[in-house]
Amino acid sequence: MSPAPPAALRRTHRQSGQILVLLALVLVVLLGISALVIDLGYAYYTQRSLQASADAAALAGASGLPDSSTAVDRAREYAGSPGGKNRRGNIPPVQTEVTMRCISVAPCNPVNAIVVVERTVVPTKFARVLGFDEIEVSARATACSPCGSRPLDVMLVLDRTGSMCMTHSGAFDPSCTDLENAREGMLEFVSFMDPTIDRIGLAVLPPALGSRCSTPSGLAHANYNSTSSSYVLVPLSDDFKTNGELNRSSQLVSTIECVRAGGVTSYATALEKAQGELAAHGRPEAPDVIVFLSDGAANYGPSYYGNSSNYRRRPCRQGVTSAGAIKSAGTTIYSIGYDLDAQNGGANVCESFTGADESPSITAYEALRQIASDSSTFFNKPAPGDLSVIYTTIASEIGGARLVDDGTQ
């Protein structure tokens, strides 16, 4: 008969068994933590995605008020549910509910607010061991229009240079996709504004030498070098909408739809002329706003300034200087950098009229950021694509439809 194991060895065996139990408990705890980190983290990401798309849908819908049918259609167009512009492929399918209501921020005739609720169900992975197979996620947004908004005088400034008809790699694009994206973005902006209180005009670079719809000449930069060229193609106007819809026969809408691309880039004079229109025809009670889009670095200045001027030698820095004077006069400037990484960033290098780099060096990104009133009014879209979200964001910020707390959020 074998002798009994020593007492110390028996204690070791008992402790080994306890360690296994503790290890099992620790593993359960670790799985629980994994559930919290991974599953709840994904649920949080999904909720933020829903909130972003609900906000966009509510703002888009509010731009169609007081027509309830138009408002609902626009909200669903920008929703995160299947078929919506804000549908994300990395979250589960979304259901969108749209309702109309009256809130107290402004007169209600018959409605002045739209409510968008988005919902989805997130399946779990690790949390299943804790008995949670799915997590319900939702987001709610309410936007109003009118919102008791203040009147605004706005000048849109469009860089319609030849690069707006080029691909990201620099090849000629006969469809002028970038210019079409800019058109759609500006028209979306206009559709958000209220013609009963807002006025909007349009300035372009290069300026127009002749018809507002003609293609700028690339020969000797004739459009820039003529003092008779028109930067302001449309003065401040209020006929851009009829019965809540864009008025296609208005000078503003028809010009946005007909402008053609060509020529090189010069920021400063276009900004100055836009400010000149605001100063000459703006209303004392209406804040002044400039919304400026450019897809590349300034590289030219009108010859009538003289070769030694910064308009010619440092066109990007002159744009910043001109913008500084405009902002000092009280105008808010929003700037949009579009496809600045085109041609591997080659469109982003500021040059003098001779083709040499500006000295000291500066990029279009830096110039456009400094042209903006502050960091919140600068938008950068480094690659080509839809500009509607940027323009609608600006429109909602400056006084069109806006998100509100309806007391039930």
Indicate if 200 and 270 belong to the same structural domain: yes
- Residue 372, domain member (yes or no): yes
How far apart, in Å, do the first and last CA atoms of the chain sit?
79
Q: What is the tens place of the pLDDT at every residue in 30-67?
A: 766 766 678 888 999 999 999 999 999 998 898 888 78
Q: Give the pLDDT of residue 120.
A: 97
161 and 265 within one domain: yes
- Residues 164, 39 share a domain: no
Q: Reading across the β-sheet that carries 134-144, which strands appear in turn? A: 95-101, 113-123, 134-144, 402-404
Q: What is the pLDDT of residue 19?
A: 73
Confidence at residue 368, expressed as pLDDT on a 0 to 100 scale: 98
220 & 118 share domain: no
Considering its fold, how many domains does the chain have in total? Answer: 2
- Same domain, yes or no, for 131 and 200? no
Classify 346 as helix, strand or coil: helix
Domain limit, last residue, from 144, 169, 194: 144
- The answer on 185 and 132 residing in a single domain is no
**Shared domain check, 231 and 175:** yes
Task: Write out the residue range of the structural domain in which residue 360 sits.
Answer: 152-401
The reply to whether 272 and 312 lie within a common domain is yes
State whether residue 29 is helix, strand or coil: helix
Calculate Rg over the CA atoms of the chain: 28
- What lies within 8 Å, CB to CB, of 83 at 6+ separation is 76
Do 162 and 46 have their domain in common?
Answer: no
| Alpha carbon distance 103, 107 (integer Å) | 8
Mean pLDDT by 10 residues, the chain (409 residues): 53 58 70 73 93 93 86 94 91 95 73 94 82 91 81 97 95 96 95 89 96 85 95 98 92 98 96 98 97 97 97 98 98 97 90 96 97 96 89 81 74
Residue 183 lies in a domain: yes
Of 100, 119, 144, the position where a domain reaches its end is 144
**pLDDT the model gives residue 212:** 93
Task: Answer yes or no: is 409 within a domain.
Answer: no
Residue 378 and residue 295 share a domain: yes
Q: Cα–Cα distance between 158 and 105 in angstroms, integer?
A: 34
Both 32 and 135 in one domain: the answer is yes
pLDDT of residue 34: 65
Domain termination residue (choose one: 97, 112, 144): 144
Q: What is the pTM of this model?
A: 0.72
Res 9: pLDDT: 46
